[in-house]
Structure 1
């Protein structure tokens, strides 16, 4: 590895530690030429994942877009950012566990809705209203009634 100080190739690993969540490895290195110590991070490269949109176009998967949608749906609700981030992480894990290189936006939306339903009903309804694109108030009310019946059965 090239030294960021003297720009010569050649370093040795002094220390190596996995991150807390195991998603990357932190390595302390020392240049064999000048002795400068620096840190590198090693993580695996995920294969690109494409999302098939409703209109049939394909777009690279973005965890940030999922998180943005979840955050918008939970705006002014008593749900912590940490919880919303965990939902986005779980949804991404579910998507990647499918094992396909392409996934439809409908599947992603269902995963998000399933997670939000158990966290905050208002956030769930807000997300559903965008995801399902309710055509009118009746369609919206139908979703609310379905949710209320499910809640009543508990």
Structure 2
């Protein structure tokens, strides 16, 4: 591994440990030339996942979009940040377990809604109201009835 400080092409590993719930390895490294230390992470390389949007356009999967949607749904709710992160991790795991190269955005939305039911009922309804594009109060009430059953 090349040193980010002096550019020397060879550094040594001082410490290795699991990171990101055993999905990565964190390595502390030291440069023999300049003596500086730095951290690297090693992950399994995955094939990029393509999301098929409602208008049939395709774009690369972006975890940040899911995080932002959940953060908006949980706005001013008593949901700890750690639980939000765990939920996003669980959603991402469910998506990647499908082992598909392309996934419709509707399927991602359904997975998000399923996980939000367990996280916070108000966040679930907020997300559903945007995701399902409720046209009127009756549609909204139908979703609430389904949730309450």
Q: Which residue of 2 aligns with 1:19?
A: 19
Contact kept? 2:26, 2:39, Cα under 8 Å: yes
User: CA separation in 1, counterparts of 2:86 and 2:122?
Assistant: 18
Structure 1: how far apart are the matches of 2:137 and 2:77?
23
The reply to whether residue 135 of structure 1 matches residue 139 of structure 2 is no
Aligned residue in 2 for 1:9: 9
Determine if the alignment matches structure 1 residue 144 to structure 2 residue 109: no
The within-5 A match list for 1:1-150 is: 1-19=1-19, 21-32=21-32, 34=33, 36-44=35-43, 45-148=45-148, 150=149
Q: CA 1:31/1:74 → structure 2, altered by over 3 Å: closer, same or farther?
A: closer
Q: Could you state the TM-score of these two structures normalised by the residue count of structure 2? A: 0.87
Tell me, which stretches of 5 or more residues in structure 2 are unaligned? none
**Which runs of no fewer than 5 residues in structure 1 stay unpaired?**
none
- Aligned residues: CA RMSD: 1.9
Q: Return the alpha-carbon distance in structure 2 between the equivalents of residues 115 and 76 of structure 1.
A: 19
Structure 2: distance between partners of 1:109 and 1:20: 24
TM-score between the two structures when normalised by the length of structure 1 = 0.84
Q: Please state whether the residue corresponding to 1:27 is helix, strand or coil.
A: strand
Max Rg structure: 1
Residues 1:5 and 1:66: Cα distance change in structure 2 (over 3 Å): closer
Count residues with an aligned counterpart: 148
Task: For residue 26 of structure 1, report the CA deviation from its aligned partner.
Answer: 2.6
